[in-house]
Amino acid sequence: MRKITILAIGDSADFDSFKKFDKEKRFISSKGFDYVAIDYKAIFKKCHLDVTSKKVIVVTFFPFEYWDKHVECKKYKGLYGNLLFLKKFSRFCDDVSSRVKDLLPGKEIEFVNNPKLTSAYRDKVVAMGKLSKAGVKVPPRINAKSVKGIKSLLSCGKKIYVKPRCGSMGKGITYLTEDRWQTNFTVKSGKIVQRCSDYGWKFKDITGDTKFLKSLVRGDFIMEEAVSPCNIGDNKIDLRVYACFGKVLYIYPRKNSIHAVTTNISQGGKGSPAILKKLPKATLDKVERQVRKTMRALNLNFAGIDVILDKDLKNAYVIDVNMFPGFPKRRTHNLARDIICQLRKSF
């Protein structure tokens, strides 16, 4: 077997994925890989990577500390998830890519996901646009340029999701129907004030707040038609699908009350593996096909993709692509081990 090193780059504060992966050191070595883990902070300092193999597979995790300090920082005055987020993040991702190459001269470096793609696909408009072009089923985009335009669509019965272009974790979501508008931004006299925390973005009724709606129309948001999701009992459900090198590794169903706007676990949704058994095989095959198509279209080798099934299970819509998805709890499903096995099969 050829000697290969897995280099994991992450943030020591990241219990959600990097730490879970790092706990599998022994498993990684049992699969015949060398393993080196390093913090983002360290790669930008004078450091030596103890890599003896010629080939290195680089797995990057979300740079929490950089993000909290420089992108979504306390003094940030702009709207959550706008394009300025992306500009700063792009520069950082490019720097990571070049820094890794500088630290490993003469090595054959293979990024699981090229850091340069990270910043591009953080923008939902870019990612969804590419998917739609590639024939992946995504919710229809709404191109209303004015409050009047949105109101007229609502009066025709359309239901609309408005999401920050570069947001995540279910933050800054607005849901509009003809007679009810809800958002989890905090709105004070029509002005948006945002939370510093990643959690507790609660939905409030803002029906008729035209000033707020105007700021959404002017801002960096993506608007799309709501998919009427499949419900099981009193819950709406969707699926977080993890895929790596062309293979679906794990499907993690999430549920929330039928009255809730989102299913994000960070905002109160719950993981519910038992739901999987209630879904017909043909439906799950459909989900897998859409996910594989998504990975090919975006040239990604690892992602957590959110998929919604519509009411009669006819269609599976891809609604969100995460290059740095949080991992399920290890005792629910050991995703890190799946990734490592898939890397072994792929290299």
Q: Which residues bind ligand ADP (CB under 6 A)?
A: 139, 161, 163, 167-171, 173, 224, 226-227, 229, 238, 262-264, 306, 308, 319-320
**Contact between 104 and 38 (Cβ < 8 Å):** no
Binds 275: which of ligand ADP, Mg ion, none (CB < 5-8 Å by kind): none
Quick one: which H or E segment has residue 91?
A: helix 83-103
- Residue nearer to ligand ADP on the CB measure, 30 or 257: 257
Q: How far is the CB of 328 from ligand ADP (least distance, A)?
A: 15
Q: What is the largest CA-CA distance in the chain?
A: 65
- Residue nearer to ligand ADP on the CB measure, 243 or 340: 243
Q: How far is the CB of 336 from Mg ion (least distance, A)?
A: 20
Q: What is the number of the residue whose Cβ is closest to ligand ADP?
A: 320
Binds 262: which of ligand ADP, Mg ion, none (CB < 5-8 Å by kind): ligand ADP
Chain residues that interact with Mg ion, rule: CB under 5 A: 306, 320
Q: How far is the CB of 51 from Mg ion (least distance, A)?
A: 34
Strands in the chain per DSSP E: 4-10, 34-39, 55-60, 108-111, 160-164, 174-176, 181-183, 186-188, 191-193, 204-205, 221-225, 231-232, 235-244, 247-257, 270-271, 302-309, 316-322
Q: How far is the CB of 136 from Mg ion (least distance, A)?
A: 16
Of 255, 207, 205, 265, the closest CA to residue 229 belongs to: 255
Q: How far is the CB of 220 from Mg ion (least distance, A)?
A: 17
Q: What is the number of the residue whose Cβ is closest to Mg ion?
A: 320
CA dist., res. 61 & res. 72, Å (int): 17
- Residue nearer to ligand ADP on the CB measure, 220 or 306: 306
Binds 161: which of ligand ADP, Mg ion, none (CB < 5-8 Å by kind): ligand ADP
- Residue nearer to ligand ADP on the CB measure, 38 or 217: 217
**Contact between 297 and 131 (Cβ < 8 Å):** yes
3-class secondary structure, 104:
coil
Q: How far is CA 70 from the centre of its chain?
A: 20
